[in-house]
Amino acid sequence: MVDLKGQYEKIKTEIDAGIQEVINNTQFIKGPQIKSFEESLAKELGVKHVIACANGTDALQIAMMALDLRPGDEVILPVFTYVATAEVIALLGLTPIMVDVNKDTFCIDTDLIEAKITAKTKAIVPVHLFGQCANMDEVMRIANKHKLFVIEDTAQAIGSEYQFNSASNMMSVNGSSDEETTRKAGTIGHVGTTSFFPSKNLGCYGDGGALMCNDDEIASKIRMICNHGQRVQYVHDVIGVNSRLDSIQAAILNAKLPHLKAYEIARQNAASWYDELLGNHPNILIPKRVENSTHVFHQYTMQLVGVDRDKLRALLAENGIPSMVYYPIELHKQKAFEIYNKEGESFPVSAQLCQTVLSLPMHTELSKETVTFIAKNVISGIDSLLV
């Protein structure tokens, strides 16, 4: 699904030098690489604060702790997402309130959010799934109206840019000039979170994550929580966690960050080649783009119509082509989340997506030739299953 070796070979000199520098100065924890990475990423995203942490799951948990969410508080999230989004909500004793997703974008269906808001609702967590932003005009409008926090799960969409229809939605949280109507994913809500898992658009060589925010007070609290709840060593003001990005991972990210835009373009090129080759097939729905967001294609996820997905995957695998199902089971149907399952509640769009989605290889090293090989196999595989 990814080619991390091929990507490394192209920037080997920078990566190796960065790692060697950490080994030479032996500041494996809290080395200078962390601060420089945080500053560079903040500049890249146009956000005041970036606080690095150990992974994207921790980032979500820390965001909720920093916003003082308390047991019993309800947090709205899409039912079609990676488990981490819901897991941290449950872990903190909060109640996950799941909402179905939009059939075209796979992101939270904003038309369904308000019906789920109660007196206990404290936050909305839009997930910018597969690389395209959720409808942030609506998320922010609803959050502002009901005085809710917004935590953007940007694990899959770093670099994606959202164009607001209305500057008033955008300004209510962060404050900005009238002319400015675009924001990078993760810098729109009260806090943004991301993951540097190796296969992510900006991935390190192990686990890593970060939080983004424009509010000085929240940022300071996040920093304190990441570091055992202390601002001064051995003085613990709040319960915190130990969540740090290693210096070696920061060095790798420092080497990769200048290439993020090129990586995005490589993914978008691969996506348009797939589109060209697969877009006319009657049994394939290629991923839809929305006007308000760029798509950074963390995944190229199509929907199959009337095709036996398992059989198609087996045919592709016979030809050495990997494929993945993100995600096969909706959150509320997972055993771990059964207790949050409300009698009679269903999520028809997510239910269908779990049956029909298929993600094809998507990474920065894909050539047109490889995409053509994959697409031809997808088409011949589907056609052979239909006869």
Ligand X SMILES: Cc1ncc(COP(=O)(O)O)c(C=O)c1O
Residues that bind ligand X (CB under 6 A): 55-57, 81-82, 84-85, 127, 153, 155-156, 195, 197, 207, 209
Closest approach of ligand X to the CB of residue 62, in Å: 12
Q: Running DSSP on this structure, what letter comes out for residue 237?
A: S
Q: Which position's Cβ is nearest ligand X? A: 56
The least CB distance from residue 85 to ligand X, in Å, is: 5
Cβ at position 208, least distance to ligand X in Å: 7
> Considering beta carbons, is residue 32 or 198 the nearer one to ligand X?
198
Pick between residue 133 and residue 278 the one whose CB is nearest to ligand X: 133
Nearest to 110 by CA among 120, 124, 123, 121: 124
For ligand X, the closer of residues 127 and 257 by Cβ is 127
Q: State in angstroms the smallest separation of the CB of 270 from ligand X.
A: 19
Q: Per DSSP, what are the bridge partners of residue 194?
A: 210
CA distance 191 to 50: 10
Query: What pairs with residue 149 in β-bridges?
Result: 123
Question: How do strand 74-78 and strand 121-124 relate by DSSP bridges?
Answer: parallel
Tell me, rounded to whole angstroms, the distance of Cα 199 from its chain centroid. Answer: 12
Minimum CB distance to ligand X, residue 280 (Å): 30
Helices and strands of the chain, counted as H and E runs = 13, 14
Alpha helices of 92-192 — where are they, by DSSP H? 136-146, 167-174
Euclidean distance between CA atoms 240 and 244, whole angstroms: 12
Q: Cβ of residue 352: shortest distance to ligand X, in angstroms?
A: 20
With respect to ligand X, which residue has the nearer C-beta, 86 or 304?
86
Which of 105, 283 has the CB closer to ligand X? 105
**Choice between 193 and 292, CB closer to ligand X:** 193
Q: Which is nearer to ligand X, 133 or 155 (CB)?
A: 155
8-state DSSP, 361: P
148/155 with CB nearer ligand X: 155
Q: How far apart are CA 212 and CA 45, in angstroms?
A: 9
Least CB distance to ligand X at residue 176 (A): 26
Do the strands 161-163 and 182-184 form a parallel or antiparallel pair, or are they unpaired? antiparallel
Query: How many C-alpha atoms does 265 have within 13 Å on its Cβ side?
Result: 3
Outline where 11-55 has alpha helix (H).
12-25, 32-45
* CA dihedral (136, 292, 44, 194) positive or negative: positive
Residue 321 CA: distances (Å) to CA of 23, 282, 317: 38, 22, 5
Is the CB of 37 or the CB of 82 nearer to ligand X?
A: 82
Q: How far is the CB of 95 from ligand X (least distance, A)?
A: 19
To the nearest 10°, report the CA torsion of 203, 209, 215, 218. 180
CB 330, min distance to ligand X, A? 14
Q: Are 19 and 249 in contact (CB under 8 A)?
A: no
Q: For residue 286, how many C-alpha atoms fall within 13 Å in the half-sphere facing its CB? A: 18
